[in-house]
Structure 1
Amino acid sequence: MALLECRGHGLTEKPTVGGIYTVIQTKSKITVDEWGENYYMMGPYFEHNFKTQVEGCEPPNPAIRMAMDALIHNGCQVHFGRWLIEGSPYVILFDISSAAWNLDRWKEDLWQTCSIGLPYHDREANDSLILGSLIAWFFKELTDQLGDKPNVIGHFHEWQAGPGLILSRSRKIPMATVFTTHATLLGRYLCAGNIDFYNNLDKFNIDKEAGDRQIYHRYCLERAAVHCAHVFTTVSQITAVEANHMLHRKPDVVTPNGLNVKKFSAMHEFQNLHATSKARIQEFVRGHFYGHLDFNLEKTLFFFIAGRYEFSNKGADIFLESLSRLNYLLRVHRNDVTVVVFFIMPAKTNNFNVESLKGQAVRKQLWDTAHSVKEKFGKKLYDALLKGQIPDMNSILDRDDFTIMKRAIYATEVLNPFSDCSVYSKQ
């Protein structure tokens, strides 16, 4: 039995970031362990990514090679190799640009098959159709070569991979199909539009909402893929409810996203990694809040939120509201715990934050000074202990040591962006 996993997400950009990419990448090791050389990943070909992330090699199965050659001999480029990530899964990558000359013919084929038309200006939808047509073509050649055995399972992720599933089913290719949505297409758009989405799921006119946002053809591809798949899955219970309303099919299986914690099974290694990472975060905070650091870092909680720079869609609004309520409770109960929050969201930036860099420079300069004095202190203490003496702690630091420390403090006042600030409130 062979499992081929198809991902269309990120067709018009470098497919190296994003939640879906991360999900598929991080589960590759355990999937390869279970399926071995019968597991293949499929997706679009990008020359730069192939050169830096894939080791080209020959397919272990002759049927794969023959199916690839059938496309290559018809002018469509297909590449094979091992993805250089944990598990080293095989990848079959299709060069969309090499097959773009077939677009009009494949659009007509899609229309004749399921009455879905794609506008000429939607490049991502057009690329999805080219990729899907290549994948369906590949599956046809592969199953012809394999005959009755082994069985083939195609697992498709997101609407961009939908055309491959739709065409495979319409051509009655003998294979099992699975479609997974990580969030419905229309749901993404509605959530981004500051709408009370989940409390109004049953009230939306789905066709109208998709049409108003000019994504009706994409929505049709997604819905058709959902209903064509033998098995439909989502990644959470709330997404299952969303899919039932948006796509009119209840998921057969919910496969929650998660982390592979097996790599942290050696507790002492995990604790060492945790301590090292925590120390680095604390050092950053010391520099960032230099001049305002009136809280105990040992009684500080660090919270993180990460994702696309979408205020509502990624839950930043809910996160901020929860922080506001937490801050109120900490003040009411006079709790001495401090919370430092990191928002990690890629966004357009023009330059570094100069004031933050100044704070980090101050911290580094003070650390270097403290380290230098510590070395001298340690040597004098060691010499005294060798002589069987307990040194006088008031005299172990000489005048030069105090001069160095004072000079460091005076020098940092020039860099300190908060040197004229004397009052700071965490609330």
Structure 2
Amino acid sequence: MTKKQLTPDFIFESSWEVCNKVGGIYTVLSTRANTLQKTIQDRIIFIGPDVWKEKESPYFLEDRKLFAEWQWLAKDQGLSVRVGRWTVPGEPIAILVDFAPYFEKKNEIYGWLWEHYQVDSLHAYGDYDEASMFSYAAALVVESMYHYLQNHCDQFPTSHVVYHANEWMCGLGALYINNKVPEIGTIFTTHATSIGRSIAGNQKPLYDYLFAYNGDQMAYELNMQSKHSIEKQTAHHVDCFTTVSDITANECLELLDKPVDVVLPNGFDNRFVPRSTAFDKKRKEARKRMLQVANALLGEQLTDDTIIVSTSGRYEFRNKGIDVFVEAMNRLLRDRDLKKKVLAFIEVPGWVGEPRKDLQERLADPQAQYDSALEVPQVTHWLHNMGHDNVLSMMKYYDMHNRREDSVKVVFLPCYLDGHDGVMNLTYYDVMLGNDLCIYPSYYEPWGYTPLEAIAFKVPCITTDLAGFGLWANKTFGHDGELKDGVKVIHRTDYNYSEVADIIKDTVADFSNMSQAEIDACRSNAVKLSKKALWSNFIKYYNVAYDIALRKAETRISKNKNNNQ
């Protein structure tokens, strides 16, 4: 007889990206929140850093009445917190904590960490201290609130409580809770190992040699000892260790010497994808704006039958495959099978200076047409490091200057698409709608939200089987994904860069030869696949993780009781 799954009465979850939109983890947590709210309304509590202080946060709405009694208690305990709601679907409770006061106790905290868990904080630099102090503060919040709920709130059951820490940045807090509040089940999710990302980012072959790498040795070689140490010790000591894909699970086993307990794939909430008529209207608007920007920059009249493609994500030139994207577009310039013009956007935030005034002047009159390109017609915003930027340098090396005779134009849009960038002035999701095809040829990508977002917006995409999402797509299809399936999954290795670039080039050329009926089928299959990745389908993996953590906590409590008798 199988045991009934234990379910949490309360979940505390911390991340540097709670109410702080800086990366993909923000999307993971903010879209999952709605599903959790439906099952344990207002008993999922997110804890994030108070990076806003006195400024108004666009992602957080303070509510002094929420847990008002505890807020006073927390203040008496020296905790500086703001309680409110995260302004995302489901509006979960969020607590923002000021971690600055703990810097003066830093050495004492690190000493405790070494004494109890042998975490090496001696080699810390960069964001290690900031993340650790936040993590410590978040754990104090959980400890304080847990005891408050137990002692003051009879209406809330508190026998099953989980603390979920995301990334090495929250590892210290997970270890603190593990030690100080053993009744709470702890979960740790690594979204990418710090060492794996560093190996890949330092141009070393990760996959063929993964079995031979020693994580501790590589941490020493790459000056990553402290981040690796906290990540490894947290993985070994929490009740349930998780990651986001099979490919990263393998990485954890080899580099952290710890198999994961559960893989938690990243789901999606498609409620903000526009429906039917609104969708078509927004798609037309996006395409019109993208072509307007390109035409003003290039001094051309690209029409609506131009194929618009893009890549996007963090500016990790090799890891995200931005280098392969540029390579593929360069090769596409000479491809005789290409039947339409291609406009390729690279939507990756760089070290942006300001929007181009000359481009803004041209865009001020949407009816105007120009027959000469602006100076440097490859970029929409000036950068601080024009001479050393990877994208611009590679385009210069290949002599890609968006000449009038070129059938492929590549435009670098190096800013966050928040709707206020000064040139495109559309949000990322609105721009996404205008694409015909999205291309994400990742080399290192534990999951891959960008391709999942693309297909949710009916945009077929190209990715690789070195992305967790690509592997999942192949597994779901039962074969290697092809463009007609909505997702083309290219086999990528440490060494087949050139082959990947050729396959992308050929796929775009093939797409230019497709009939409208074939394109419609592609788009329809893309959406079908995206629906299989909704949180409603993926939350079951989290339920397994909660069960594991709660059972371990139960075992620990009964063992402690027996030892004390």
TM-score (norm 1): 0.76
Q: Please name the residue that 1:56 is paired with.
A: 62
Separation in 2, partners of 1:316, 1:184: 21
Q: Please name the residue that 2:479 is paired with.
A: none
Number of equivalent positions: 367
Q: Please name the residue that 2:225 is paired with.
A: 216
1:8 corresponds to 2:16: yes
Shift of 1:221: 0.4
Q: Please name the residue that 1:94 is paired with.
A: 97
Shift of 1:250: 2.6
Aligned partner (choices 207, 211, 216) of residue 207 of structure 1: 216
Q: Which one-letter code corresponds to 1:25 in the other structure?
A: S
Q: Please name the residue that 2:235 is paired with.
A: 226
Matched ranges for 1:13-24 at <5 A? 15-24=20-29
Task: Give the 3 Å change call, closer, same or farther, for CA 95–355 of structure 1 in structure 2.
Answer: closer
Q: Please name the residue that 2:49 is paired with.
A: 44
Q: Please name the residue that 1:26 is paired with.
A: 31
Deviates more, 1:82-91 or 1:347-356: 347-356
Matched ranges for 1:284-295 at <5 A? 284-291=293-300, 293=301
Alpha-carbon contact 1:132-1:163 (below 8 Å) kept: yes
Shift of 1:307: 2.3
Shift of 1:70: 4.9
1:109 corresponds to 2:112: yes
Separation in 1, partners of 2:240, 2:123: 31
Alpha-carbon contact 1:139-1:173 (below 8 Å) kept: no
Alpha-carbon contact 1:290-1:363 (below 8 Å) kept: no
Q: Which one-letter code corresponds to 1:161 in the other structure?
A: C
Aligned partner (choices 195, 199, 208) of residue 190 of structure 1: 199
1:35 corresponds to 2:40: yes
Matched ranges for 1:237-316 at <5 A? 237-264=246-273, 266-291=275-300, 293=301, 297-316=303-322
Shift of 1:113: 0.8
Q: Deviations over 1:31-78 (max 9, x none)?
A: 32332111111021123476333322246457xx43x55543243312
4+ residue stretches of structure 1 with deviation over 4 A? 59-62, 68-71, 324-328, 350-359, 415-418
Q: Please name the residue that 1:426 is paired with.
A: 407
Deviates more, 1:250-259 or 1:174-183: 250-259
Q: Please name the residue that 1:370 is paired with.
A: none
Aligned partner (choices 307, 329, 336) of residue 332 of structure 1: 336
Q: Please name the residue that 2:144 is paired with.
A: 141
Deviates more, 1:356-365 or 1:21-30: 356-365
Q: Which one-letter code corresponds to 2:239 in the other structure?
A: H
Alpha-carbon contact 1:304-1:341 (below 8 Å) kept: yes
Shift of 1:229: 2.4
Identity %: 23
Separation in 2, partners of 1:280, 1:417: 18
Unaligned runs of 5+ in 2: 1-8, 151-156, 376-401, 409-565
- The secondary structure found in structure 2 opposite 1:179 is strand
Alpha-carbon contact 1:358-1:416 (below 8 Å) kept: no
Shift of 1:25: 2.5
Separation in 1, partners of 2:319, 2:21: 21
Alpha-carbon contact 2:16-2:49 (below 8 Å) kept: yes
Separation in 2, partners of 1:207, 1:120: 13
Larger proportion of helix:
1
- The secondary structure found in structure 1 opposite 2:289 is helix
Alpha-carbon contact 1:234-1:253 (below 8 Å) kept: yes
Task: Give the 3 Å change call, closer, same or farther, for CA 180–422 of structure 1 in structure 2.
Answer: closer
Q: Deviations over 1:335-361 (max 9, x none)?
A: 322221111222224454466456546
Matched ranges for 1:333-412 at <5 A? 333=337, 335-353=338-356, 356-357=359-360, 360=363, 364-366=367-369
Task: Give the 3 Å change call, closer, same or farther, for CA 177–235 of structure 1 in structure 2.
Answer: same
Separation in 2, partners of 1:416, 1:264: 35
Alpha-carbon contact 1:106-1:129 (below 8 Å) kept: no
The alignment yields a C-alpha RMSD, in angstroms, of 3.1
Alpha-carbon contact 1:181-1:233 (below 8 Å) kept: yes
Shift of 1:160: 0.5
Separation in 2, partners of 1:356, 1:138: 49
Task: Give the 3 Å change call, closer, same or farther, for CA 357–123 of structure 1 in structure 2.
Answer: closer
1:132 corresponds to 2:135: yes
Separation in 2, partners of 1:343, 1:17: 19
- The secondary structure found in structure 1 opposite 2:13 is strand
Alpha-carbon contact 1:136-1:168 (below 8 Å) kept: yes
Q: Which one-letter code corresponds to 2:50 in the other structure?
A: Y
Separation in 1, partners of 2:53, 2:340: 47
Q: Which one-letter code corresponds to 1:336 in the other structure?
A: K
Q: Please name the residue that 2:389 is paired with.
A: none
Task: Give the 3 Å change call, closer, same or farther, for CA 424–179 of structure 1 in structure 2.
Answer: same
Unaligned runs of 5+ in 1: 367-411
Separation in 2, partners of 1:202, 1:171: 36
> Which of structures 1 and 2 has the larger relative contact order (alpha carbons within 8 angstroms, sep 6+)?
2
Separation in 2, partners of 1:108, 1:58: 36
Separation in 2, partners of 1:71, 1:241: 41
Q: Please name the residue that 2:83 is paired with.
A: 80
Shift of 1:130: 2.4
